[in-house]
Structure 1
Amino acid sequence: MENHVAEVRAFNRFYTGVIGVLHQSVLDAPYSLTEVRVLFELDRQDRMEAGELRRLLGLDAGYLSRMLGRFETDGLVVRERSASDARRQVIALTEAGRATFAALDEHAAEQVRGLLDGVTEEDRRRLIASMGTIQEVLGESRGARPYVIRPPRPGDLGWVVYRHGLLYSQEYGWGMEFEALVAGIVADYVDGHDPLREAGWIVEVDGERAGCVFCVRKDDETAQLRMLLVEPSTRGMGIGGRLVEECLRFAGAAGYRRIVLWTRDVLLGARRIYRTAGFELIEKKEGEGFTEEVWARDL
Structure 2
Amino acid sequence: MVNVAQVKAVRAFNRFYTRRIGVLDRYLGSDFSLTEVRILYELAHRPHLTATDLVRELGLDAGYLSRILRRFTHEGWVERETAAHDGRQSLLKLTEAGYAAFAPLQQKSREEAAELLASLPAKERPKLLSAMDTLHQLLDPATKRERQVTLRGIQPGDMGWVVMQHGELYAREYGFTNAFEALVADIAAKFIRDFDPEWERGWIAEVDGERAGSVFCVRKSATVAKLRLLILVPEARGLGLGGKLVDECIAFARGKGYRKLVLWTNGHLLAARAIYQSRGFVLKETETTPTDYCPRHPLVNETWELKL
TM-score (ref. length: structure 2): 0.81
Distance 1:77 1:103 in 2: 17
Residue matched to 2:71: 70
The structure-2 alpha-carbon separation of the partners of 1:59 and 1:234, relative to structure 1 and needing over 3 Å to count, comes to same
Q: Does 2:247 match 1:238? A: no
Residue matched to 1:297: 306
Distance 1:9 1:180 in 2: 46
Q: Does 2:134 match 1:134? A: no
- Residue correspondence of structure 1 range 77-226 to structure 2 within 5 A: 77-79=78-80, 88-112=89-113, 115=115, 123=122, 127=125, 129-138=126-135, 139=137, 140=141, 141-226=143-228
1:229 Cα offset (Å): 0.4
User: Structure 1 stretch 261-270 or stretch 90-99: which is displaced more?
Assistant: 90-99
Distance 2:119 2:75 in 1: 39
1:73 Cα offset (Å): 2.0
Is the 2:26–2:33 Cα contact (8 Å) retained in structure 1? no
User: Structure 1 stretch 157-166 or stretch 217-226: which is displaced more?
Assistant: 217-226
Distance 1:65 1:156 in 2: 54
Is the 1:261–1:296 Cα contact (8 Å) retained in structure 2? yes
Distance 1:144 1:292 in 2: 37
SS in 1 for 2:21: helix
How far does the alpha carbon of each residue in 1:237-261 deviate from its partner, in whole angstroms, 9 at most, with x for none?
Answer: 1211111111112222333210111
Distance 1:237 1:112 in 2: 28
Is the 2:282–2:305 Cα contact (8 Å) retained in structure 1? yes
Letter in 1 for 2:134: V
1:228 Cα offset (Å): 0.3
Distance 1:75 1:165 in 2: 60
Is the 1:25–1:108 Cα contact (8 Å) retained in structure 2? no
User: Structure 1 stretch 196-205 or stretch 141-150: which is displaced more?
Assistant: 141-150
Residue matched to 2:51: 50
1:83 Cα offset (Å): 6.0
The structure-2 alpha-carbon separation of the partners of 1:12 and 1:155, relative to structure 1 and needing over 3 Å to count, comes to farther
Is the 1:126–1:208 Cα contact (8 Å) retained in structure 2? no
1:15 Cα offset (Å): 4.3
Runs (5+) with no aligned partner, structure 2: 1-5, 290-296
Distance 1:258 1:268 in 2: 23
Aligned length: 291
The structure-2 alpha-carbon separation of the partners of 1:117 and 1:269, relative to structure 1 and needing over 3 Å to count, comes to closer
Is the 1:221–1:256 Cα contact (8 Å) retained in structure 2? yes
Is the 1:25–1:107 Cα contact (8 Å) retained in structure 2? no
* RMSD of aligned residue pairs (Cα, Å): 3.1
Distance 1:118 1:146 in 2: 23
- Residue correspondence of structure 1 range 273-292 to structure 2 within 5 A: 273-287=275-289, 288=297, 290-292=299-301
User: Percent identity at matched positions?
Assistant: 47
Distance 1:9 1:218 in 2: 59
The structure-2 alpha-carbon separation of the partners of 1:111 and 1:160, relative to structure 1 and needing over 3 Å to count, comes to closer
How far does the alpha carbon of each residue in 1:199-236 deviate from its partner, in whole angstroms, 9 at most, with x for none?
Answer: 21112222221100111122332111011001111112
The structure-2 alpha-carbon separation of the partners of 1:84 and 1:187, relative to structure 1 and needing over 3 Å to count, comes to closer
1:172 Cα offset (Å): 1.6
How far does the alpha carbon of each residue in 1:39-86 deviate from its partner, in whole angstroms, 9 at most, with x for none?
Answer: 110111222111111111111111111111222222222246656567
Distance 1:248 1:220 in 2: 16
Distance 1:7 1:285 in 2: 51
Distance 2:222 2:87 in 1: 78
SS in 2 for 1:48: coil
